[in-house]
Structure 1
């Protein structure tokens, strides 16, 4: 997760958008792909960027874990699929996040709940939430 947080620091800060890093790791600990928000265009999300770098039928995805510094989005205006939907369409069944999306931009993100209801294991590393949140200080002003 610390590597994902490092990646999130590469995101160009944007008003109204979180800076997020994501890494996909195989069952044996090999980094398969990584991505960060706004890596390839102004609307790409971290999980979307990482997933796009691997073929959908890559057999290593079945045992892989995706680490994301923020809860995968469950609502989106810039693309037809949310990051939660993209993960569910992949063979990945384990997601690790540092913090849940606050109601700053989306009133009620339900990425964690949606993933869990579909049988995906979701772990929250609350001890790293402050590090992930700090990268997004541009959104919180003096809070």
Structure 2
């Protein structure tokens, strides 16, 4: 499957959460390794957990060497002081991140 196909799935996951994630945006994340989806998630109700956290939790060790498709650039720091999604992706060994939109 193509990058576009996996990103479309991430967008669909985010769209399913529209209106439920305030104060955070609705984000979708799909983690793919060897062309198989190993994890996916969308921002939880009320903005937590983040989509990347859910997808990484599903993927477990299969995230190592995988590609993450994320509808919004992963956070670089957390207001609550927890690990950022960027650092979690790195810690899990994700080797490539495809982003649909930069976090402005």
Alpha-carbon distance in 1 for matches of 2:30, 2:86: 15
Q: TM-score, normalised by structure 2?
A: 0.83
2:59 to 45, 54, 58: 54
- Structure with bigger strand share is 2
Say whether 1:21 aligns with 2:28: yes
Equivalent residue of 1:75, what SS? coil
Say whether 1:73 aligns with 2:75: yes
Alpha-carbon distance in 2 for matches of 1:33, 1:69: 15
Q: Please tell me whether the aligned partners of residues 20 and 69 of structure 1 are also in contact (alpha carbons under 8 angstroms).
A: yes
1:1-143 equivalences under 5 Å are 1-13=7-19, 14-26=21-33, 28-38=34-44, 42-55=47-60, 58=61, 60-78=62-80, 80-102=82-104
RMSD: 1.7
Equivalent residue of 1:18, what SS? coil
Q: Structure 2: give runs of 5+ residues left out of the alignment.
A: 1-6
Q: TM-score, normalised by structure 1?
A: 0.62
Q: Please tell me whether the aligned partners of residues 43 and 78 of structure 1 are also in contact (alpha carbons under 8 angstroms).
A: no
Largest Rg, 1 or 2: 1
